[in-house]
Amino acid sequence: MGYSGARGGLEAILAAEDLVRRARDHAPVAWADTEQIIARFRLAVDRVMGEAGLFDEDTAAAAFRQAEGDPLEASHLLRAYRSTLPRLAVGEPVDPDEMLILRRIVPAFREPDGPQLLGRTTDYTGRLLEKPAAAPEAGEHVAGTAKPRTDEQRRPRRFLDLLRELDLAVDHRGENEDTDPFDLTRKPARPPAPRSAALAAMARAETGALVSLWYRSILGPDGNLHEVTLGEVRHGRLPLRVKHPHTGNPVAVGSFRVTEAEAIEDLNGAEEDRSRFDVGYGLCFGHNERKAIAMANLDIANRRFGRSGPLEQLLLLTTDGLDSGGFLEHLKLPHYVTFRSMVERKRALQAAAGEGPAPRPSEPFGGEC
């Protein structure tokens, strides 16, 4: 593919970039600081961290601000920044059961082990615009303030454990040889790939692309949605541990927030165990329930049908926002030579068919590009 510099060249590019900075720096209100962005746009910051594959709220907020609110551009900035960081250590495997729950809902069962923790959500409010409310005065009581939860309530037993006790869920433990997680940051994943590669790709996928692929996967050829049940959704904090450089013992150096989902699907295939359910898993950085739920459902679909269809290829190769968005964005770059060759082929076909003369250098697209 041939490119040619745009008219004005480097001078035009620098002027365009300067225009962005001047418009940003001379806004009528002060530039939002990092703390404000994290507090006011927490879900956008979490989405940027998830799609970039780096949990750092301050840096993600700075990228979101620099990108002027574009999550994809902010993720691009964050990934570029991450590539400059040294890899000092590799985190130890973390058991999701260690999660300190901030939000937990079990749509499949009314009274699961442990409480339903609604947490911070707008799932049940009307979608009506509100005027900014004044902050409460010091000591003023705020209606609806939740009571403190105990440690036992913050670490409830999984709904999947109940299904296993009742022998209602297919147990895939022990049958998977994918013991070493696939590192997408070191090498690209290509079909056929281990399950960890598909899960890692979905964890970094563009949220809208993943939700769209999930929606298409459950939409049957009859146009009806096939039955989907959500077992459990969790949002909470997990510890980050690394090996101590001297003792070799795991040491907690911090924590990070994740969203986790388990989806339930009825098995009805000819060679499947129809007496049990299959359960899919999804986990991603930050608070992003749409992505985690889509991941869990697509995990099942990929296990059941991915090897015999295009789903695995779509998951691995088309859901990354930086890949797809970058390819789309590059169409704005000069394609003069490419389009000229296309025009010449059309002219040649017309001339061969006697519909018109061959192109001349003085005609549009006929001169030098």
Q: What is the pTM of this model?
A: 0.86
Residue labelled with tokens 């910051």 = 45
Cα dist from 14 to 3, 9, 21, 182, whole Å: 19, 9, 11, 40
Positions of the chain with pLDDT under 50: 1-4, 367-369
Residue 185 per-residue DSSP state: T
C-alpha closest to that of 293 among 278, 280, 302: 280
Q: How far apart are CA 54 and CA 60, in angstroms?
A: 8
218 in Cβ contact with 227 (< 8 Å): no
Alpha carbon distance, N-terminus to C-terminus of the chain: 13
For the chain, the structural domain boundaries read 9-82, 96-118+155-172+180-326, 336-369
Give the residues across from 233 on adjacent strands: 105, 261
The pLDDT assigned to 334 comes to 84
The pLDDT assigned to 369 comes to 43
C-alpha closest to that of 79 among 239, 204, 182, 240: 204
H or E element: which one contains 345? helix 336-352
Q: How far apart are CA 300 and CA 15, in angstroms?
A: 50
The pLDDT assigned to 368 comes to 47
Strand ranges of the sheet holding 229-243, from the earlier edge strand across to the other edge: 100-105, 229-243, 250-266, 277-285
Q: How far apart are CA 267 and CA 312, in angstroms?
A: 20
The pLDDT assigned to 220 comes to 64
